[in-house]
Amino acid sequence: MHNFFRIGGVATDLPYGWIDKCSDFCDYFLTSIAEYQKLITRNPIFLERVEGVGVVDVKEVINWGLSGPMLRASGIQWDLRKVDNYECYEEFHWEVQWQKEGDSLARYLVRIGEMIESIKIIQQALEGLPGGPYENLEIRCFDREKEPEWNEFEYRFISKKSSPSFELPKQELYVRIEAPKEN
């Protein structure tokens, strides 16, 4: 969740047993994906409805400014996480999922492949999860609000901690990311 991250760390430490539950979910989800593929991917009725349907070729994808699975299902092997190496994606081994056909089946296959690659990334992140404190104590050098709302009585016992507040120069900022809610 976006409200979990803080400059210098995270809001709270992971709950006891969370890593094991996450790892178990990854195993369960990979098994589920294999089951989905068995039921759907080679199903003749499904294939008849999606193969060759809704074809978007490379030229159209570029002209329309499509990205993500739409782009990769039309033959362009391009993923911003690999191109820009933002966050820590370059630390993980994963493959860009893409297809050439540009039809509904290709988009389905890209998304199925991306679910598998996402689980690989999560598993690698779990293996490399460092121990130690969840908060960088050096962050205290930033000016904090004297009396933030989170210090009031109603908020004291719900484990919420405010982010450090500090003044940034006024400017415009644009950041591009790979996100699940794309065109």
pLDDT per residue as tens digits for the range 97-144: 999 999 999 999 999 999 999 999 999 999 998 887 766 655 555 555
Fold of 1-183: Cytochrome-c3 Hydrogenase; chain B (1.10.645)
d(CA 55, CA 133): 50
Domain ranges of the chain: 1-183
Task: For residue 34, give every residue at least 6 positions away whose Cβ sits within 8 Å of its Cβ, in sequence order, or none.
Answer: none
d(CA 103, CA 70): 9
Residue 113: name the closest of 157, 147, 153, 69 by CA.
69
What is the reported pTM? 0.75
Instruction: Note the pLDDT tens digit of each residue in 66-81.
Output: 888 999 999 999 998 8
CA dihedral sign, ordered 69, 4, 154, 158: positive
Mean pLDDT of 137-152: 56
Gap between the terminal Cα atoms of the chain = 22
Residue 108: name the closest of 178, 41, 23 by CA.
41
Where do runs of H (alpha helix) occur along 3-152?
Answer: 18-36, 44-50, 58-64, 68-72, 80-83, 104-127
More confident residue, 174 or 118: 118
**Residue type for position 139:** I
